[in-house]
């Protein structure tokens, strides 16, 4: 398979230009091994039992090869983290080690690695990386605060976005279609439930309950509903519901495996913004997993498949998973620009902004995500409220749509089709 360049490539190369060790972490099948291997002079695959046994017998082999040394799936031998840290203490030359990891190990390393090993997150492919369109609008320009011109057009239609939701951003999986695609996604979910939980140090006594919880969580995509409601939806019709304490390990382990990536609430240090909700917005790392857990394909999404149990969320499932797809992509673009992604909701949900992209200085770009081809004044009312509330701290604002054209409205708010946005 031909390597598809990733936005994280540039970040990785920049860091290796001045740092000795970088850990590239993210869910399985996201492309970490291939990305790291392209830079490797020495490769240690710790998911290969023979190689793992050899390293256990002679740990010094792990750090003695020609650099860059790639330690793939380092969490299978947690002591490898400390071995690399000590090697970096001895010789901090740039580009010595790349560690890849698909989970946080149950047995944490003795030392955090702070100051020696820098962690880089790798996510499923963003829309800009999938090669379905040539992007024309950069998040970098929106973050500059210059209100740069916004232009470009696309032929991508609603059906295309529905297809991208269900095809996945995992490089190898998205090359498939039909039954092959469904089988691979089912296999991915099976592996999480039946193997990855155990390898992460958590034994699942009832895999059926875990699958139901995952499906309920998928139905809560792009919403901040409580975990009690997710639990109740997962155990509908069952009189003896599990306690919140018994479902906490599900959430913790799925975060440990990089499968859950919730959007935290934006809590700025501004007295002008009060009564903000602090609960996160729920998201799986790839909306294709959510669609598969709920048993829907692109056609069903277009036809208006139910969004899940009424207790979970309102609105269409397509709208929720389109927001998931855009959120996944914006996170990739924001990381490339050293920015963070949050969301804003007031406690009563009177005001909300889907995504807040925050620079280190606290200034932000606000993004609304709309499953629509046209933008009305009603679609931007919360952006105007935010602009009036925080003033110059709002660098720019945009509505991400399924439309054809990128432009600025007369009020200065950008309108950007999702396929035209990039880092």
Residue 114, domain CATH: 3.40.50.300
Same domain, 105 and 153: no
The DSSP bridge partners found for residue 369 are 400
- Those residues of the chain that have pLDDT short of 50 are none
Domain span at residue 99? Answer: 8-121
Two structure tokens written together for 267: 């809590």
Q: Does residue 2 lie in a domain region?
A: no
Q: If you write DSSP's letter for every residue of 151-164 in order, what string do you get?
A: --B----HHHHHHH
Same domain, 117 and 141: no
How many CB atoms are located within 10 Å of the residue 405 CB? Answer: 15
Per the structure, the count of domains in the chain is 2
Q: Does residue 229 lie in a domain region?
A: yes
Q: Does residue 82 lie in a domain region?
A: yes
Q: Kindly report the average pLDDT of the chain as a whole number.
A: 92
Question: Nearest to residue 119, comparing CAs of 101, 95, 96, 105?
Answer: 101
Specify the pLDDT at position 110.
53
Domain boundary among the residues 89, 104, 121 is at 121
Same domain, 250 and 392: yes
Q: How far is CA 307 from CA 162, 185, 296, 304, 401, in A?
A: 14, 20, 10, 8, 20
Helical (H) or strand (E) element with 202: none
Same domain, 80 and 207: no
Same domain, 392 and 365: yes
């Amino acid at each position: 398979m031909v390597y598809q360049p990733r936005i994280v490539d540039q970040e990785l190369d920049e860091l290796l230009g001045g740092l000795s060790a970088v850990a590239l972490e993210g869910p399985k099948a996201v492309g970490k091994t291939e990305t790291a291997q392209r830079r490797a002079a020495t490769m240690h695959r710790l998911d290969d039992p023979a190689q793992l046994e050899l390293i256990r017998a002679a740990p010094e082999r792990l750090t003695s090869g020609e650099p860059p040394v790639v330690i793939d799936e380092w969490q299978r031998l947690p002591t490898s983290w400390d071995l690399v840290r000590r090697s970096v203490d001895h010789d901090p030359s740039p580009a010595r080690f790349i560690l890849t990891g698909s989970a946080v190990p149950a047995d944490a390393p003795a030392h955090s690695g702070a100051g020696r090993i820098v962690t880089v997150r790798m996510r499923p492919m963003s829309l800009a990386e999938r090669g379905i369109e040539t992007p024309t609008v950069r998040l970098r320009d929106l973050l500059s605060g210059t209100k740069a011109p916004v232009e470009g057009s696309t032929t991508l239609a609603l059906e295309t976005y529905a297809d991208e939701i269900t095809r996945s951003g995992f490089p190898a999986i998205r090359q498939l279609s039909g039954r092959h695609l469904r089988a691979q996604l089912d296999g991915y979910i099976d592996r999480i439930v039946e193997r990855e939980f155990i390898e992460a140090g958590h034994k699942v006594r009832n895999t059926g309950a875990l699958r139901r919880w995952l499906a309920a969580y998928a139905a809560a995509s792009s919403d901040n509903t409580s975990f009690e409601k997710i639990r109740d939806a997962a155990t509908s019709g069952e009189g003896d519901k599990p306690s919140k304490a018994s479902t906490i390990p599900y959430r913790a382990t799925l975060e440990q495996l990089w499968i859950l990536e919730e959007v935290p609430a934006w809590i700025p240090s501004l007295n002008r913004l009060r009564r903000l909700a602090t609960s996160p917005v729920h998201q799986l790392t790839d909306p294709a997993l959510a669609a598969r857990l709920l048993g829907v394909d692109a056609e069903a999404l277009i036809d208006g498949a139910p969004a899940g149990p009424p207790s979970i969320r309102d609105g269409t499932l397509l709208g929720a998973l389109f927001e998931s797809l855009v959120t996944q992509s914006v996170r990739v673009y924001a990381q490339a620009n050293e920015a963070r992604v949050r969301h804003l909701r007031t406690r009563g949900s009177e005001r909300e902004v889907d995504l807040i992209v925050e620079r280190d200085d606290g200034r932000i770009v606000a993004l609304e995500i709309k499953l629509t081809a046209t933008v009305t004044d009603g679609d931007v009312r919360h952006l105007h409220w935010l602009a009036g509330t925080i003033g110059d701290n709002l660098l720019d604002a945009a509505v991400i749509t399924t439309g054809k054209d990128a432009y600025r409205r007369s009020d200065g708010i950008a309108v950007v089709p999702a396929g035209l946005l990039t880092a």
